[in-house]
A and B are shown apart, each in its own frame.
Chain A
Amino acid sequence: MYEEEFGKIDEELQKLYLQTNAKVVFLVDKNGQLIASAGETHDIDTTSLASLTAGNIAATGGIARLLGEKEFTILFHEGEKDNIHISLIGQRIILVVIFDSRSSLGLVRLRVKKVSEALTKIFTDITAKSDREKSEGKIDESPFAEISDEDIDNLFR
């Protein structure tokens, strides 16, 4: 993930957060890792939420394949107060919007659709950029090449 693109992703999430009047908006990859978030995240366990969301998407994807569908791209769960709207972007990134009665499902769906296009473009750019750098043989000044056994041992003190 590059700094510049991360900024753009963050911007899109902030925009979505404001436009939908949502409580929290976040982006997770299909493996359950949190990529970015916007809104009132402080009282939410985002790590757990990310992993459960990915599990949810994975299970739904499994059901889809059993039924001969490629994918179900939108999941919606309705609660007494809060609702959660989960959508799959570009088949690899999961966008989650948590909202209450200050917003509505229609508004969320509309805005999510718009921001999905922007995010898909950003992620396509990222892939293209990293492919290009790989083919040019450009090696990032990666901090990991120099990990020593000592560094690893230190983690387990």
Chain B
Amino acid sequence: MSFINYSSREINCKIVYYGPGLCGKTTNLQYVYKKTNPDQKGKLISLATETERTLFFDFLPLALGDIKGFKVRFHLYTVPGQVFYAASRKLILKGVDGVVFVADSQIERMEANIESLDDLRINLAEQGYDLDKLPYTVQYNKRDLPNVAPVDNMNKLLNPRNIPFFEAVAVTGPGVFETLKNVAKQVLVELKKHY
């Protein structure tokens, strides 16, 4: 749930990037970090192994500006994508306000995408959330690779509700901010409904 501090006039929202191992969740955060003004961002914290695989989470605080005199801050988190980090993955979803599902567009990773999406649903349900009711965006990453699945196919498999989706290349940037903006907007619209 968004944390609203009336005395310091701040709103903090938590956005989690979810997806299978090596789909580019951390890369998304790294690109956002690289491209935002120093005064808008905090440190990018990565709890990773020596081979730069996410072990627990990455964390990036972003201050976007003001709404009605309240400072709006987004805390971006990624989960460890590898299957055997399931226990850690669950923990990161606590108190989530919005989810980005990053799918790997390579044909051979389709099964991993589906498995990860199921895992997301189950883990959210365990915390009492319903993916269909949360602010949620899908990103089809790695569109620059030669062996990618057509977007229509991916939509059929991963996005049956046809919610907003974005094609992206997180390494070089296309689609990264579009995805973030979309989910952030949904979070703020949700905030408007509940307060």
**Chain B residues, Cβ within 8 Å of A155:** 64-65, 67, 72, 184, 188
- When the two chains form the complex, which single residue of A140, A143, A152, A154 contacts B70, counting CB atoms closer than 8 Å? A143
- Closest CB in chain B relative to A156 CB, distance in Å: 5
Q: Which of A30, A52, A58, A155 has the most CB of B within 10 A?
A: A155
Interface 1/0s, chain B 87-114, versus A by CB < 8 A?
1101110110000000000000000000
Beta-carbon contact of A144 and B195 below 8 Å: yes
Q: Is the CB of A156 within 8 A of B88?
A: no
Beyond the given pairs A32-B59, A59-B88, A62-B90, 12 more chain A to chain B contacts, judged by CB atoms under 8 angstroms and listed by A's residue number, are A32-B75, A33-B12, A47-B61, A48-B43, A48-B61, A51-B77, A52-B59, A55-B47, A55-B56, A55-B57, A58-B92, A144-B68
28 contacts across the A-B interface (CB closer than 8 A): A1-B4, A1-B5, A3-B6, A6-B5, A6-B6, A29-B3, A30-B95, A32-B14, A47-B61, A48-B42, A48-B45, A51-B61, A52-B59, A55-B92, A59-B56, A61-B91, A62-B87, A62-B91, A144-B68, A144-B195, A145-B192, A145-B195, A146-B68, A147-B191, A155-B64, A155-B65, A155-B72, A155-B188
For the complex of A and B, the 4 pairs showing the least CB-CB separation, nearest first, are A31-B95, A143-B68, A58-B91, A33-B3
